Structure 1
Amino acid sequence: MVLGKGLRLPSITSTRLVLLFSLALVLLYNFATWRALGHLISLQGLHKLAFFASFGLFLWAAITLLLTLVSFRWTLKPVLSLVALTSAAAAYFMNQYGITIDTVMVQNVFETNPGEASALFNFKLLGYLLVLGLLPVVLIWRTPVLYRPLFRGLLNKLLVIAACVLVIAVSVGAFYSTYAPIFREEDKLTHFINPTNYLYALGKYAKQSLGIKQHLVIQPIGQDAAMSAQASAREKKSLMILVVGETARADHFSLNGYARDTNPELARLDILNFTQVHSCGTSTAVSVPCMFSMFPREDYSDKKGKTYEGLLDVLQRAGVQVLWLDNNSDCKGTCLRVPNRDIPKTQPSPFCDGKNCLDEALLVDLQQYIDRLGDNAIIVLHADGSHGPEYYDRYPKSLERFTPICHTNQLGSCSSEELVNVYDNTILYTDHFLARVIELLKHNQERFDTSMLYVSDHGESLGENGLYLHAAPYALAPQAQTHVPMLMWFGQQALSDLGIQRDCLQGKSGEPDLSHDNLFHSVLGLFEVRTSLYQPRLDIFHSCRPNMTAAH
């Protein structure tokens, strides 16, 4: 190695470069994989060390095999450079937040907005990108690579691939009884392995997206939807504000028994609180379209979410006026066929700073819209809520009650106390925001039968077992990511006008099987929309309306 006009390294063959780069991936980019592996196996002593050596050889051979397939003169360096940069970013997020990378996580990446993406950037991420990304790229491009003639090169690649297959077979065969249960449930380990986790997820996401785009015909649903005669004849119309929360976990609501008083304002209001509600997904990209879909979680898919109409389409078809206001990333396709608008971050407002808006910005000028309403209406407020990792930007300083706080997006560098404090301040602000929503509805309850329904899209991990943020695979996600708060408020006479018995509804507050699956049918039922899609068993209100005709 000499220093002159630039860094010059000794020449090596393409095979040796692939072997060295693969080894670096195994040793430097897969700390999360090794950590997960340590939790999955029960071997002890020398047997454990031997298995780890076996797994290292297995991983080295598998990555070498993949990269050998692209080790040609015009592809090798560009591919290795791209893998180095992407793997550095993947390593950072897995190490820092304890996440895994699957198709849903890739979908989140592609559907995030610049504001959300910038919130994740920090100097530690920059360090990963420089040391594990840019530095290897420089070394790769400054290293002269020797390529064999075409036929000799192909023969060499075949021999390398055969050797890799042999190493994989020997490594797995020696510990088959240990490997088998690990890979039988792929979520336990394969979503950690860098770079195969994101390469597989990217391929699967691309295939799904291409399939959806090729068949992107929106299927209408509920074409028979119509308001019931009773609802149509009712002089006093219904006005619902449906607040879609963000990243709120139920166990941090004092309404649900949390030791801290995070719901002081709601506790003084006439709230119906539901304590055992579960989400459809662990990320906004899944949960939001799913909760507005006619499909239950077990039958929902991203393709169905993008190719079928949803709840808002059916309500609009039945004559309900619909408006979606967004202070989050976007509505994930849910609001595309109804009136909708985003809250501009740069608007002159006491709630916006040019980069973010507090959720109270959703209420600015909303009264003027309500004044123009002449029929049944639903207003959906997509809140920013407790969106991480910059929790400290989600609430005004006047509500920073719990201190000291975590004032960085590098969550692993904060103490558990600081992280919980800053998160609880976001819940405290959600409490205040919902109280403001109810205040607005109270102002309109003489003219409308008013109601508010709040439910979060998913929960959040706060460092438990080394896991932060959300979007864990649903089957393995902790309760913190799937157990969400849901509550309702009704204006004076609204329940009696709608024929709903409050005591009956209150009795459902602790039912264990409530979920996002109930939203579609409950809102249809509340507005008394008749359609063959409606399923009374999933309508929370249905059994509490004894005088209402059951025909739908």
Structure 2
Amino acid sequence: MRLSMPVLFRMRVIPLILLLAVVFATLLNWPVLLHFYQILTALEHVKAGFVISIPLVLIAALNVVFMPFSVRYLLKPFFAVLLITGAIASYATLHYKVMFDQSMIQNILETDSQEATSYLNGTIILWVALTGVLPAVLLFMVKIDYCAKWYQGLIYRLLSMLVSLVFIGGVAALYYQDYASVGRNNPTLNKEIIPTNYIYSAARYLQKTYFTARIPFQTLGDDARRTAGNGKPTLMFLVIGETARSQNYQMNGYTRDTNAYTVREGDVISFADVHSCGTATAVSVPCLFSGMGRKHYDAEKAANSEGLLDVVHKTGVSLLWKENDGGCKGACKRIPTIEIKPTAGNNMCDGETCYDGVMLENLDAEITATPGDKLMAFHFIGSHGPTYYRRYPPAFRHYMPECARSDIENCTQEELVNTYDNTVRYTDYVLAQMIDKLKKYADRYNTVLIYVSDHGESLGENGLYLHGTPYKLAPEQQTHVPLQVWMSPGFSAAKHLDMACLKNAAAHNAWSHDNLFSSVLGLWDIATQVYDPQLDMFRPCRAG
């Protein structure tokens, strides 16, 4: 039995494609039109014809792009999917200023289901239902009239595309300088047009990920050896934070006591000027461990190469990675890993996510499980949005009122900042607990903790929320990250570190994720060709 949708009206295929172009240009591309409005209102002189031409050129361009997909049996399912995905992209662009470049597509595709559901709320569901699902349903209720002869249909399609191209050419002849000027001064506009932005970026990502010949796997630091040691073993905690921005750190000049717990520990050094490798976890974490540096980072090469932890492991150091943020993005694929399961019935978890305090559980057993030197890496969920309020227990609702919802653009700025600052304060609490744990092992190990966030976060500044903006365009809030270091007296003495020198360097020098690779190798006294002494932030403060 064949099910069929009721027919609302009949329409020829060429006018239907033009209608779809109008819907995409005026409804789903509303964020782009708003961006144009903001640009044009800031100009001193604007031609009326140029302003009027903008949505018409967009309609004509989309008509050209859509026409090849107007064939029978493909048209309805193809454009139904585009309408729904376009509605999602439109919401993200309008409310969070998300830009769907290749890095953002990678970030989306590598996001786990629990993290993805945190973005759901009543507002986005209503938006997608009205601007995506409803038009898609109406599309299936249209009876489309196709030409009887295939070549007639081809001719009409080509004529429609030709008319659109002629119109675009005519507008270009009249207003080329205006379009060129706006385009040069606003290079992101071409990445904001829905659906071409995310389709193109997704195609590039899939082509590069699945249809490009993999490069041979590269080993790294095969010559690595320890040049010191054989005394008291070392225990290092390497903590990778999530979505923490330096601007909200008390130790870096923020007026609130967001570092209330680590301040009490004493001797915690905060590096004030540190910038990330990327603006999303999928880029920053593998880049940070690759040793390539931001300017030379290649995701494919990093995925097929050993990294920092592999080099350290080659020198006899025991390794363990504890994961609470949905995946290590390849950084831990060859070392023992404990992945925290939110559904395991732990009292620190709610079935979908876990507080970072869960990292402290079973820590003694994990430390004593192997003898000798140890590096334990911890991947926090930290300040991951938009559901910031789910990143800390009720007892840590320090700043109130909070923004207890995922559609954060509907919270006041005070509520949003309060909630975000609570996440930073809770992360600080967990780090202080880890330092306390390391202090208890100071009689058996030389102990050290390094904490660095993967990227920062926008909290509504200039209309931007969350993260993932292309690096060249990203605001300081998304790239300026905290980095903190604590060392036991035994560790600093064993490494001949001048702590006053280190505090001065942390306060006055500029650093980045590029420094972490060689800095960690340096603290382990590992000699290898992949170690760069110029990037070791501790080396200038070591005697001898």
TM-score, normalised via structure 1 length: 0.95
1:76 is aligned to 75
2:369 pairs with 1:372: yes
Distance 2:198 2:59 in 1: 17
1:33 is aligned to 32
Distance 1:409 1:42 in 2: 32
Contact 2:276 2:284 (C-alpha < 8 Å) held by counterparts: yes
2:254 is aligned to 258
Distance 1:96 1:81 in 2: 23
2:511 pairs with 1:525: no
Letter in 2 for 1:83: L
Shift in Å, 1:7? 4.2
1:385 is aligned to 382
Q: Which runs of 4+ in 1 moved over 6 A?
A: none
Shift in Å, 1:346? 2.2
**Greater shift in the superposed pair: 166-175 or 147-156:** 166-175
Letter in 1 for 2:500: D
Gaps of 5+ in 1: 548-552
Distance 1:34 1:319 in 2: 58
Distance 2:59 2:22 in 1: 6
2:333 is aligned to 336
CA gap 1:163/1:43 in 2 versus in 1, 3 angstroms: farther
Q: Percent identity?
A: 38
Letter in 1 for 2:21: S
Shift in Å, 1:309? 1.2
Distance 2:9 2:448 in 1: 73
Secondary structure of the structure 2 residue equivalent to 1:453: strand
Shift in Å, 1:48? 5.0
Letter in 2 for 1:108: N
Alignment of 1:532-543 (within 5 A): 532-543=529-540
2:93 is aligned to 94
Distance 2:490 2:339 in 1: 33
Across the aligned residues of Structure 1 and Structure 2, the Cα RMSD in angstroms comes to 1.6
Contact 2:226 2:315 (C-alpha < 8 Å) held by counterparts: yes
Secondary structure of the structure 2 residue equivalent to 1:35: helix
CA gap 1:534/1:325 in 2 versus in 1, 3 angstroms: same
1:240 is aligned to 236
Letter in 2 for 1:107: Q
2:289 is aligned to 292
Q: Deviations over 1:88-137 (max 9, x none)?
A: 11111111212111111111110000000110111112112211111111
Distance 1:442 1:46 in 2: 66
CA gap 1:6/1:381 in 2 versus in 1, 3 angstroms: closer
Letter in 1 for 2:451: Y
Q: Deviations over 1:474-529 (max 9, x none)?
A: 00101000000011000122101112111221121124430000000000000011
Contact 2:237 2:377 (C-alpha < 8 Å) held by counterparts: yes
Distance 1:181 1:339 in 2: 54
2:189 pairs with 1:189: yes
Shift in Å, 1:323? 0.8
1:411 is aligned to 408
Distance 1:6 1:380 in 2: 55
Gaps of 5+ in 2: none
CA gap 1:8/1:348 in 2 versus in 1, 3 angstroms: closer
Distance 2:106 2:71 in 1: 31
Shift in Å, 1:251? 0.6
Contact 1:182 1:188 (C-alpha < 8 Å) held by counterparts: no
2:172 pairs with 1:161: no
Secondary structure of the structure 2 residue equivalent to 1:510: helix
Distance 1:216 1:415 in 2: 49
Q: Deviations over 1:357-416 (max 9, x none)?
A: 110111110111112332221111000100000000000111101111111100111000
Secondary structure of the structure 2 residue equivalent to 1:403: coil
2:204 is aligned to 204
Q: Deviations over 1:443-471 (max 9, x none)?
A: 11111110000000000000111110000
Contact 2:447 2:490 (C-alpha < 8 Å) held by counterparts: no
Contact 1:280 1:297 (C-alpha < 8 Å) held by counterparts: yes
1:505 is aligned to 502
Number of matched pairs = 539
Q: 1:426 aligns with which of 418, 423, 426?
A: 423
Letter in 1 for 2:188: K
Shift in Å, 1:50? 2.7
Distance 1:253 1:53 in 2: 47
Distance 1:14 1:531 in 2: 65
1:116 is aligned to 115
Shift in Å, 1:27? 0.7
Letter in 1 for 2:8: L
Alignment of 1:390-405 (within 5 A): 390-405=387-402
Q: Deviations over 1:41-62 (max 9, x none)?
A: 4675883543232111111111
CA gap 1:344/1:180 in 2 versus in 1, 3 angstroms: same
Distance 2:275 2:235 in 1: 26
Letter in 2 for 1:451: V
Contact 1:187 1:476 (C-alpha < 8 Å) held by counterparts: no
Distance 2:365 2:337 in 1: 16
Q: Deviations over 1:14-60 (max 9, x none)?
A: 11110001101111111211122233346758835432321111111
Secondary structure of the structure 1 residue equivalent to 2:190: coil
Contact 1:96 1:411 (C-alpha < 8 Å) held by counterparts: no
Secondary structure of the structure 1 residue equivalent to 2:84: helix
CA gap 1:459/1:216 in 2 versus in 1, 3 angstroms: same
CA gap 1:365/1:122 in 2 versus in 1, 3 angstroms: same
CA gap 1:304/1:182 in 2 versus in 1, 3 angstroms: farther
1:145 is aligned to 144
2:278 is aligned to 281
Contact 1:182 1:189 (C-alpha < 8 Å) held by counterparts: no
